[in-house]
Amino acid sequence: MNIPVTTDANHPALERLYAVRPHWQRVARARDALGLPDFTLLHAGPPYADPCDPAAPVLSSAVLCCLYENWATTEAQAEQLIASGQVRLVAAQSFGVVTPLAAVISPSTTLVEVADPQAPSRRAWSLLGSGTGAQIRFGSRNPAVLPRLAWRDTLLASALTAALERSGPIDLFTHAAAGLAGGDDLHARTTAATASLRAQLSPHIAELPVDAMLADTPLFFLTLWMAACHLMMSAAADGADPAASLVIALAGNGRDVGVRVAGDPHAWTTQPAAAPAGPRLAHTADAIAAPLTGDSGVIDAAGFGAHAFALAPEPAHAFATWLPAGWQDAQPTLFPGAHPAFPMLRCALDAAAVADRSLAPLAAIAMIGADGRTGLVGRGVYAAPVALFEAALRNH
Protein backbone atom coordinates (compact mmCIF):
# COMPACT_ATOMS: atom_id res chain seq x y z
CA MET A 1 0.00 0.00 0.00
CA ASN A 2 1.58 3.27 -1.17
CA ILE A 3 0.52 5.92 1.38
CA PRO A 4 0.69 9.48 0.00
CA VAL A 5 3.34 11.80 1.36
CA THR A 6 2.01 14.72 3.40
CA THR A 7 2.87 17.95 1.60
CA ASP A 8 4.14 21.04 3.40
CA ALA A 9 0.79 22.70 2.70
CA ASN A 10 -1.28 19.82 4.08
CA HIS A 11 0.80 19.08 7.17
CA PRO A 12 -0.43 22.00 9.34
CA ALA A 13 -3.99 21.37 8.15
CA LEU A 14 -3.72 17.78 9.37
CA GLU A 15 -2.33 18.92 12.71
CA ARG A 16 -5.33 21.20 13.20
CA LEU A 17 -7.65 18.32 12.30
CA TYR A 18 -5.94 16.02 14.83
CA ALA A 19 -6.34 18.62 17.59
CA VAL A 20 -10.14 18.79 17.40
CA ARG A 21 -12.12 16.90 20.07
CA PRO A 22 -15.79 16.95 18.99
CA HIS A 23 -18.36 16.93 21.81
CA TRP A 24 -22.14 16.87 21.51
CA GLN A 25 -23.10 19.80 23.68
CA ARG A 26 -26.76 20.59 23.05
CA VAL A 27 -29.78 20.45 20.79
CA ALA A 28 -31.27 23.70 19.53
CA ARG A 29 -33.72 24.89 16.93
CA ALA A 30 -32.17 26.27 13.76
CA ARG A 31 -33.83 29.60 14.44
CA ASP A 32 -31.89 29.92 17.70
CA ALA A 33 -28.66 28.12 16.80
CA LEU A 34 -28.10 29.72 13.40
CA GLY A 35 -30.34 32.77 13.40
CA LEU A 36 -32.16 31.11 10.48
CA PRO A 37 -34.91 33.48 9.37
CA ASP A 38 -38.42 32.57 8.35
CA PHE A 39 -38.98 31.57 4.73
CA THR A 40 -35.43 30.19 4.49
CA LEU A 41 -34.64 26.50 4.09
CA LEU A 42 -31.26 24.76 4.09
CA HIS A 43 -30.44 21.89 1.72
CA ALA A 44 -27.51 19.52 1.31
CA GLY A 45 -24.73 19.87 -1.20
CA PRO A 46 -23.49 22.78 -3.29
CA PRO A 47 -25.82 25.71 -4.04
CA TYR A 48 -28.33 25.27 -6.84
CA ALA A 49 -27.84 27.22 -10.04
CA ASP A 50 -31.53 28.07 -9.63
CA PRO A 51 -32.70 27.65 -6.02
CA CYS A 52 -36.29 28.07 -7.20
CA ASP A 53 -35.96 24.75 -9.03
CA PRO A 54 -34.41 22.16 -6.69
CA ALA A 55 -34.12 18.44 -7.38
CA ALA A 56 -37.40 16.55 -6.89
CA PRO A 57 -36.53 14.84 -3.56
CA VAL A 58 -35.29 18.13 -2.08
CA LEU A 59 -38.40 19.89 -3.38
CA SER A 60 -40.58 17.29 -1.65
CA SER A 61 -38.79 17.80 1.66
CA ALA A 62 -39.00 21.57 1.21
CA VAL A 63 -42.75 21.32 0.59
CA LEU A 64 -43.20 19.35 3.80
CA CYS A 65 -41.17 21.97 5.69
CA CYS A 66 -43.39 24.75 4.33
CA LEU A 67 -46.45 22.87 5.58
CA TYR A 68 -44.79 22.18 8.93
CA GLU A 69 -43.87 25.85 9.41
CA ASN A 70 -47.43 26.91 8.43
CA TRP A 71 -46.10 28.97 5.55
CA ALA A 72 -48.52 27.07 3.30
CA THR A 73 -51.63 24.99 3.79
CA THR A 74 -51.38 22.88 0.62
CA GLU A 75 -48.58 21.30 -1.35
CA ALA A 76 -49.45 23.48 -4.33
CA GLN A 77 -49.10 26.65 -2.25
CA ALA A 78 -45.77 25.44 -0.92
CA GLU A 79 -44.51 24.68 -4.42
CA GLN A 80 -45.48 28.18 -5.54
CA LEU A 81 -43.63 29.78 -2.62
CA ILE A 82 -40.49 27.88 -3.59
CA ALA A 83 -40.83 28.44 -7.36
CA SER A 84 -41.33 32.18 -6.83
CA GLY A 85 -38.36 32.52 -4.47
CA GLN A 86 -40.55 33.68 -1.58
CA VAL A 87 -39.13 30.68 0.27
CA ARG A 88 -35.37 30.64 -0.26
CA LEU A 89 -33.33 27.44 -0.55
CA VAL A 90 -29.75 27.93 0.64
CA ALA A 91 -26.86 25.48 0.89
CA ALA A 92 -26.67 24.26 4.50
CA GLN A 93 -22.88 24.28 4.63
CA SER A 94 -22.87 28.06 4.25
CA PHE A 95 -24.39 28.07 7.76
CA GLY A 96 -21.95 25.50 9.18
CA VAL A 97 -24.59 22.75 8.90
CA VAL A 98 -24.41 19.34 7.26
CA THR A 99 -27.70 17.61 6.50
CA PRO A 100 -28.32 14.02 5.38
CA LEU A 101 -29.75 12.97 2.01
CA ALA A 102 -32.71 15.19 1.00
CA ALA A 103 -33.38 16.49 4.53
CA VAL A 104 -34.24 20.18 4.47
CA ILE A 105 -33.80 22.34 7.56
CA SER A 106 -36.36 24.99 8.48
CA PRO A 107 -36.26 27.50 11.36
CA SER A 108 -38.12 25.09 13.70
CA THR A 109 -35.86 22.13 12.93
CA THR A 110 -34.01 20.79 15.96
CA LEU A 111 -30.29 20.45 15.34
CA VAL A 112 -27.50 18.68 17.18
CA GLU A 113 -24.68 21.06 18.03
CA VAL A 114 -21.12 19.72 18.15
CA ALA A 115 -18.20 21.77 19.44
CA ASP A 116 -14.66 21.40 20.72
CA PRO A 117 -14.38 22.38 24.43
CA GLN A 118 -10.84 23.58 23.70
CA ALA A 119 -12.12 25.95 20.99
CA PRO A 120 -15.80 26.55 21.83
CA SER A 121 -16.29 29.23 19.20
CA ARG A 122 -15.92 26.59 16.49
CA ARG A 123 -19.19 24.69 16.15
CA ALA A 124 -20.99 22.49 13.64
CA TRP A 125 -24.57 21.33 13.37
CA SER A 126 -26.61 18.58 11.81
CA LEU A 127 -30.16 17.26 11.91
CA LEU A 128 -31.41 15.62 15.09
CA GLY A 129 -32.45 12.06 14.26
CA SER A 130 -35.99 11.14 15.19
CA GLY A 131 -36.16 7.37 14.97
CA THR A 132 -37.26 4.85 12.40
CA GLY A 133 -40.18 5.22 10.01
CA ALA A 134 -41.12 8.24 7.90
CA GLN A 135 -38.15 10.59 7.52
CA ILE A 136 -37.66 14.05 6.04
CA ARG A 137 -34.28 12.86 4.74
CA PHE A 138 -35.84 10.40 2.29
CA GLY A 139 -37.28 13.15 0.06
CA SER A 140 -40.89 12.01 -0.28
CA ARG A 141 -44.28 13.63 0.23
CA ASN A 142 -45.24 11.16 2.97
CA PRO A 143 -47.60 13.07 5.33
CA ALA A 144 -46.49 10.85 8.22
CA VAL A 145 -43.28 12.90 8.25
CA LEU A 146 -45.11 15.90 9.74
CA PRO A 147 -46.08 14.39 13.12
CA ARG A 148 -42.59 12.87 13.30
CA LEU A 149 -41.10 16.37 12.95
CA ALA A 150 -43.41 17.68 15.66
CA TRP A 151 -42.37 14.87 18.04
CA ARG A 152 -38.70 15.57 17.33
CA ASP A 153 -39.03 19.28 18.00
CA THR A 154 -41.06 18.92 21.22
CA LEU A 155 -40.77 15.77 23.35
CA LEU A 156 -37.48 14.51 21.91
CA ALA A 157 -35.77 17.90 21.95
CA SER A 158 -36.94 18.57 25.51
CA ALA A 159 -35.83 15.15 26.78
CA LEU A 160 -32.39 15.39 25.18
CA THR A 161 -31.89 18.94 26.43
CA ALA A 162 -32.51 17.72 29.97
CA ALA A 163 -30.32 14.64 29.48
CA LEU A 164 -27.39 16.68 28.17
CA GLU A 165 -27.71 19.11 31.08
CA ARG A 166 -27.39 16.15 33.44
CA SER A 167 -24.63 14.32 31.58
CA GLY A 168 -22.64 17.29 30.36
CA PRO A 169 -21.14 17.44 26.84
CA ILE A 170 -20.59 14.00 25.30
CA ASP A 171 -17.21 13.09 23.82
CA LEU A 172 -18.05 11.67 20.38
CA PHE A 173 -14.63 10.08 19.87
CA THR A 174 -15.42 7.64 22.68
CA HIS A 175 -18.50 6.37 20.89
CA ALA A 176 -16.92 6.47 17.43
CA ALA A 177 -14.10 4.25 18.71
CA ALA A 178 -16.66 1.88 20.26
CA GLY A 179 -18.45 1.82 16.92
CA LEU A 180 -15.34 0.93 14.94
CA ALA A 181 -14.47 -1.77 17.47
CA GLY A 182 -18.01 -3.14 17.13
CA GLY A 183 -18.08 -3.42 13.34
CA ASP A 184 -19.33 0.05 12.34
CA ASP A 185 -17.93 2.05 9.46
CA LEU A 186 -19.61 5.16 11.02
CA HIS A 187 -21.64 5.94 7.91
CA ALA A 188 -23.53 3.00 6.43
CA ARG A 189 -23.55 1.38 9.88
CA THR A 190 -23.47 3.12 13.28
CA THR A 191 -25.12 0.37 15.35
CA ALA A 192 -22.38 -0.11 17.93
CA ALA A 193 -21.68 3.63 18.23
CA THR A 194 -25.37 4.32 18.84
CA ALA A 195 -25.54 1.58 21.49
CA SER A 196 -22.50 3.06 23.21
CA LEU A 197 -24.06 6.52 23.14
CA ARG A 198 -27.36 5.20 24.48
CA ALA A 199 -25.56 3.50 27.37
CA GLN A 200 -24.19 6.89 28.43
CA LEU A 201 -27.44 8.80 27.86
CA SER A 202 -30.06 6.38 29.20
CA PRO A 203 -29.48 7.04 32.91
CA HIS A 204 -30.27 10.69 32.23
CA ILE A 205 -33.43 10.14 30.15
CA ALA A 206 -36.72 10.09 32.04
CA GLU A 207 -39.02 9.64 29.03
CA LEU A 208 -39.35 5.97 28.08
CA PRO A 209 -40.37 6.67 24.44
CA VAL A 210 -37.12 8.58 23.91
CA ASP A 211 -34.97 5.79 25.31
CA ALA A 212 -36.95 3.30 23.23
CA MET A 213 -36.30 5.39 20.12
CA LEU A 214 -32.55 5.28 20.78
CA ALA A 215 -32.74 1.50 21.23
CA ASP A 216 -34.62 1.09 17.95
CA THR A 217 -32.61 3.54 15.82
CA PRO A 218 -29.18 2.09 14.99
CA LEU A 219 -28.34 5.08 12.76
CA PHE A 220 -29.00 7.72 15.44
CA PHE A 221 -25.26 8.40 15.81
CA LEU A 222 -24.94 9.21 12.11
CA THR A 223 -25.86 12.90 12.13
CA LEU A 224 -23.78 13.51 15.26
CA TRP A 225 -20.79 12.03 13.45
CA MET A 226 -21.56 14.08 10.35
CA ALA A 227 -21.30 17.23 12.47
CA ALA A 228 -18.13 15.96 14.15
CA CYS A 229 -16.45 15.28 10.80
CA HIS A 230 -17.55 18.66 9.49
CA LEU A 231 -16.02 20.28 12.59
CA MET A 232 -12.74 18.46 12.05
CA MET A 233 -12.51 19.21 8.34
CA SER A 234 -13.44 22.86 8.90
CA ALA A 235 -10.57 23.12 11.39
CA ALA A 236 -8.22 21.72 8.76
CA ALA A 237 -9.21 24.60 6.48
CA ASP A 238 -8.84 27.31 9.12
CA GLY A 239 -6.04 29.54 7.86
CA ALA A 240 -4.80 26.83 5.50
CA ASP A 241 -2.11 27.41 2.91
CA PRO A 242 -3.80 28.10 -0.47
CA ALA A 243 -1.97 25.02 -1.77
CA ALA A 244 -3.60 22.73 0.81
CA SER A 245 -5.46 20.02 -1.09
CA LEU A 246 -7.36 18.17 1.64
CA VAL A 247 -11.04 17.66 0.76
CA ILE A 248 -13.22 19.30 3.41
CA ALA A 249 -16.60 18.63 1.77
CA LEU A 250 -17.95 15.97 -0.57
CA ALA A 251 -21.67 16.42 -1.13
CA GLY A 252 -24.54 16.35 -3.61
CA ASN A 253 -27.74 18.35 -4.06
CA GLY A 254 -29.56 15.78 -6.20
CA ARG A 255 -28.20 17.25 -9.42
CA ASP A 256 -24.56 18.14 -8.90
CA VAL A 257 -21.77 16.64 -6.82
CA GLY A 258 -19.38 19.15 -5.29
CA VAL A 259 -16.17 19.32 -3.30
CA ARG A 260 -14.44 22.03 -1.34
CA VAL A 261 -10.73 21.93 -0.53
CA ALA A 262 -8.86 23.34 2.45
CA GLY A 263 -6.85 25.85 0.45
CA ASP A 264 -9.98 27.56 -0.91
CA PRO A 265 -12.66 26.50 1.59
CA HIS A 266 -15.53 28.70 0.44
CA ALA A 267 -15.41 27.67 -3.23
CA TRP A 268 -17.37 24.70 -4.54
CA THR A 269 -16.17 22.77 -7.56
CA THR A 270 -19.07 20.87 -9.11
CA GLN A 271 -20.13 18.63 -11.95
CA PRO A 272 -23.29 16.65 -12.75
CA ALA A 273 -23.72 13.78 -10.30
CA ALA A 274 -24.45 10.12 -10.88
CA ALA A 275 -26.52 8.07 -8.45
CA PRO A 276 -25.03 5.82 -5.77
CA ALA A 277 -25.45 2.10 -6.38
CA GLY A 278 -26.05 -0.75 -3.99
CA PRO A 279 -28.54 -3.24 -2.56
CA ARG A 280 -32.14 -2.13 -2.91
CA LEU A 281 -35.23 -2.52 -0.82
CA ALA A 282 -37.47 -5.21 -2.31
CA HIS A 283 -40.29 -2.85 -3.28
CA THR A 284 -37.97 -0.36 -5.06
CA ALA A 285 -36.38 -2.70 -7.60
CA ASP A 286 -37.62 -0.62 -10.53
CA ALA A 287 -37.25 2.83 -8.97
CA ILE A 288 -34.81 5.31 -10.47
CA ALA A 289 -32.29 6.45 -7.86
CA ALA A 290 -31.58 10.16 -7.57
CA PRO A 291 -28.15 11.58 -8.30
CA LEU A 292 -25.97 11.91 -5.20
CA THR A 293 -27.88 13.77 -2.48
CA GLY A 294 -26.63 14.71 0.98
CA ASP A 295 -23.72 16.19 2.92
CA SER A 296 -22.69 12.96 4.61
CA GLY A 297 -19.75 12.40 2.25
CA VAL A 298 -17.81 14.51 4.75
CA ILE A 299 -17.61 11.33 6.85
CA ASP A 300 -15.87 9.49 4.02
CA ALA A 301 -13.64 12.48 3.25
CA ALA A 302 -12.51 12.41 6.87
CA GLY A 303 -11.53 8.74 6.48
CA PHE A 304 -14.53 6.81 7.78
CA GLY A 305 -17.55 5.37 5.97
CA ALA A 306 -16.45 3.48 2.87
CA HIS A 307 -12.84 3.85 3.99
CA ALA A 308 -13.57 1.92 7.17
CA PHE A 309 -15.25 -1.03 5.44
CA ALA A 310 -12.22 -3.19 6.23
CA LEU A 311 -13.27 -2.89 9.90
CA ALA A 312 -16.97 -3.32 9.19
CA PRO A 313 -17.80 -6.81 7.89
CA GLU A 314 -21.55 -6.26 7.52
CA PRO A 315 -21.50 -3.24 5.17
CA ALA A 316 -18.44 -4.60 3.36
CA HIS A 317 -20.39 -7.78 2.60
CA ALA A 318 -23.55 -5.87 1.67
CA PHE A 319 -21.67 -3.69 -0.83
CA ALA A 320 -19.26 -6.34 -2.12
CA THR A 321 -20.85 -6.45 -5.58
CA TRP A 322 -20.48 -2.69 -6.01
CA LEU A 323 -16.94 -2.23 -4.66
CA PRO A 324 -14.03 -2.02 -7.12
CA ALA A 325 -11.41 -4.75 -7.18
CA GLY A 326 -8.55 -4.10 -4.79
CA TRP A 327 -10.36 -1.36 -2.88
CA GLN A 328 -8.87 -2.49 0.45
CA ASP A 329 -5.34 -1.61 -0.69
CA ALA A 330 -6.07 1.18 -3.15
CA GLN A 331 -8.42 3.48 -1.23
CA PRO A 332 -6.08 4.17 1.75
CA THR A 333 -3.49 5.58 -0.66
CA LEU A 334 -5.73 8.64 -1.09
CA PHE A 335 -5.43 9.59 2.59
CA PRO A 336 -2.19 11.14 3.86
CA GLY A 337 -3.25 11.49 7.49
CA ALA A 338 -2.91 9.21 10.50
CA HIS A 339 -5.27 10.37 13.25
CA PRO A 340 -3.88 9.59 16.71
CA ALA A 341 -7.36 8.68 17.98
CA PHE A 342 -8.02 6.22 15.13
CA PRO A 343 -4.70 4.52 14.35
CA MET A 344 -6.41 1.70 12.46
CA LEU A 345 -7.47 4.06 9.65
CA ARG A 346 -5.98 6.62 7.31
CA CYS A 347 -7.65 10.04 7.38
CA ALA A 348 -8.25 13.19 5.32
CA LEU A 349 -8.91 12.65 1.64
CA ASP A 350 -6.37 14.46 -0.56
CA ALA A 351 -7.57 15.79 -3.91
CA ALA A 352 -3.99 15.75 -5.17
CA ALA A 353 -3.65 12.05 -4.38
CA VAL A 354 -6.92 11.35 -6.20
CA ALA A 355 -5.62 13.17 -9.28
CA ASP A 356 -2.14 11.64 -9.09
CA ARG A 357 -3.46 8.08 -8.83
CA SER A 358 -6.51 8.62 -11.06
CA LEU A 359 -8.49 6.70 -8.44
CA ALA A 360 -12.10 7.52 -7.57
CA PRO A 361 -12.67 7.76 -3.81
CA LEU A 362 -15.70 5.97 -2.38
CA ALA A 363 -18.50 7.25 -0.18
CA ALA A 364 -21.24 5.24 1.55
CA ILE A 365 -24.40 7.24 0.78
CA ALA A 366 -27.92 5.80 0.61
CA MET A 367 -30.12 5.84 -2.48
CA ILE A 368 -33.39 7.78 -2.61
CA GLY A 369 -36.00 7.97 -5.36
CA ALA A 370 -35.40 10.49 -8.13
CA ASP A 371 -39.12 11.17 -8.40
CA GLY A 372 -39.41 12.85 -5.01
CA ARG A 373 -42.14 10.37 -4.06
CA THR A 374 -40.60 6.93 -3.62
CA GLY A 375 -38.38 7.84 -0.67
CA LEU A 376 -35.66 5.45 0.44
CA VAL A 377 -34.55 3.07 -2.33
CA GLY A 378 -31.69 1.26 -0.60
CA ARG A 379 -28.16 1.46 0.72
CA GLY A 380 -25.59 2.90 -1.63
CA VAL A 381 -21.94 3.43 -2.41
CA TYR A 382 -20.74 6.27 -4.62
CA ALA A 383 -17.49 6.60 -6.56
CA ALA A 384 -16.65 10.30 -6.80
CA PRO A 385 -15.28 11.11 -10.28
CA VAL A 386 -11.57 11.84 -10.56
CA ALA A 387 -12.30 14.75 -12.91
CA LEU A 388 -14.06 16.57 -10.08
CA PHE A 389 -10.89 16.60 -7.97
CA GLU A 390 -8.73 17.54 -10.93
CA ALA A 391 -11.00 20.51 -11.55
CA ALA A 392 -10.88 21.50 -7.87
CA LEU A 393 -7.08 21.57 -8.00
CA ARG A 394 -7.12 23.70 -11.14
CA ASN A 395 -9.69 26.08 -9.67
CA HIS A 396 -7.80 26.78 -6.49
Q: What is the SS3 assignment for 382?
A: strand
Q: What does the alpha-carbon distance between residue 317 and residue 252 come to, in Å, rounded to a whole number?
A: 25
Residue 42 host element (H or E): strand 40-43
pLDDT exceeds 70 at position 137: yes
CATH code of the domain in which 126 resides? 3.90.1710.10
Q: Do residues 214 and 309 both lie within one domain?
A: no
pLDDT exceeds 80 at position 316: yes
Its pTM surpasses 0.85:
yes
Residue 254 falls in which region: left (phi positive, over 0), alpha (psi -120 to 50) or beta: left
pLDDT tens digits, 67-115: 999 999 999 999 999 999 999 999 999 999 999 999 999 999 999 999 9
Boundary-marking domain end, from 225, 248, 268: 225
Q: Do residues 53 and 75 both lie within one domain?
A: yes
Q: Do residues 210 and 275 both lie within one domain?
A: no
Q: What is the SS3 assignment for 321?
A: helix
Phi, psi of 79 (to 5 degrees): -60, -40
What is the tally of helices (H) and strands (E) in the chain? 15, 15
**Domain containing residue 101:** 21-225
pLDDT tens digits, 242-262: 999 999 999 999 999 999 999
**Is residue 72 a part of any domain in this protein?**
yes
Q: Do residues 243 and 218 both lie within one domain?
A: no
* Sheet containing strand 264-272, strands side by side: 264-272, 256-261, 247-253, 293-294
Q: Do residues 261 and 381 both lie within one domain?
A: yes
**Is residue 234 a part of any domain in this protein?**
no
Q: What does the alpha-carbon distance between residue 68 and residue 160 come to, in Å, rounded to a whole number?
A: 22
CB atoms within 10 A of CB 50: 10
Burial class of 200 by CB neighbour count within 10 A (0 to 12, 13 to 18, 19+): middle
**Is residue 230 a part of any domain in this protein?**
no
Q: Do residues 275 and 380 both lie within one domain?
A: yes
**Is residue 1 a part of any domain in this protein?**
no
